Amino acid sequence: MDSIADMGGTQGWGPAQVPTDEPPFPEPWEGRSFALTVLTMGRISGRNLDAFRHALGRLHPVDYLVDGYYGRWLNAAELMLTDSTILAPGAVDARARRNRGEDVEEPAFPEPTRPDYRASAPGSLREVDQDPAFAVGDVVRTKDLHPEGPTKLPRYLRRRTGTVAAVRPPHVLPDTHAVFAGENPQHVYTVAFPSTELWGPDAEPFTLHAEVFESYLETR
């Protein structure tokens, strides 16, 4: 899906921040949100990191942006918890309003329907039987993919020609893994794209590298 999370090359955000020293969690709630998200992600879905990323991508753009990084983590955790009916929709807001003194009724806890899923191994890397379809130096083209569901092919890399720079260890495929439809591990390549292939003849000169799953690629 074309989500708010897919930000590469989008414009209008203003200048990048000048780095400063900062603690990992500038405000206490950010640490709590971080820990809650990591722990609940594991509990509800067998540590399915891709499902969490897909939850981030499914957020309303306002919910993605308005409270910053750990705000979007919190919102994605809540989305995963309501998806698996561990929490009722509105439960978090109702509790927060009660905590600040409003007379709000809280929804009952529903019966959980968490996904029937267990990872075949820790982490995201797997082995596959078939040989890689591409080798270092091969010229490849990204397909014109517009799935409704999750993908790791950024919009700015659709229908672009590049050169395989490295063959990486196979990964579980987020397109299916994120929706609990199987790990389907695939070869992954680091592909190098000249900036002019991405942003036209007047682009700043540079080389862009990205990891691309085998099924996103075709021979040019």
Partner 1 sequence: MTDAPSDRLSPALRTEALEQLLVERELVDPTVMDTFISTYERDVGPLNGARVVARAWTDAEYRAWLLRDGTAAIKDLGYGGPQGEHMVVLEQTEDVHHVVVCTLCSCYPWPVLGLPPSWYKDPAYRAGMVRTPRRTLREMGLEVPEGREIQVWDSSAEVRYLVLPRRPAGTDGLDAEALAALVTRDAMVGVAEVAAP
Residues of this chain, 185-214, that bind partner 1 according to CB under 8 A: 188, 190, 198-199, 203-213
Q: Is residue 117 a contact residue for partner 1 (CB under 8 A)?
A: no
What is the distance between the alpha carbons of residues 130 and 112, in angstroms, rounded to a whole number? 39
Q: Is residue 145 a contact residue for partner 1 (CB under 8 A)?
A: no
Among positions 1, 2, 113, 125, the unique one binding partner 1 when judged by CB under 8 A: 125
What is the distance between the alpha carbons of residues 219 and 139, in angstroms, rounded to a whole number? 7
DSSP state of 125: B
> Of 35 and 135, which CB lies nearer to partner 1 in the complex structure?
35
158: amino acid identity, one letter: R
In what helix (H) or strand (E) does residue 193 lie, and over which residues does it extend?
strand 186-194
Q: Is residue 15 a contact residue for partner 1 (CB under 8 A)?
A: yes
Strands, E assignment, 37-177:
139-142, 161-171
**Least distance (Å) between residue 203 CB and partner 1:** 8
> Of 27 and 218, which CB lies nearer to partner 1 in the complex structure?
27
Task: Answer whether 109's CB lies under 8 Å from 82's CB.
Answer: no
> Of 67 and 138, which CB lies nearer to partner 1 in the complex structure?
67
In the window 37-76, what residues touch partner 1 (CB under 8 A)?
38-40, 43, 53, 56, 60-62, 65-71, 74
> Of 25 and 180, which CB lies nearer to partner 1 in the complex structure?
25
What is the distance between the alpha carbons of residues 160 and 118, in angstroms, rounded to a whole number? 35
Tokens found for residue 66: 């308005």
For 147, counting Cβ atoms within 10 Å of its Cβ (0-12 exposed, 13-18 middle, 19+ buried), the class is exposed
What SS3 state is found at 186?
Answer: strand
> Of 56 and 164, which CB lies nearer to partner 1 in the complex structure?
56
In what helix (H) or strand (E) does residue 64 lie, and over which residues does it extend?
helix 61-65
Among positions 108, 154, 160, 220, the unique one binding partner 1 when judged by CB under 8 A: 154
Q: Which stretch binds partner 1 (CB under 8 A): 84-92, 129-137, 138-146, 175-183?
A: 84-92
In the window 161-190, what residues touch partner 1 (CB under 8 A)?
166, 168-169, 171, 188, 190
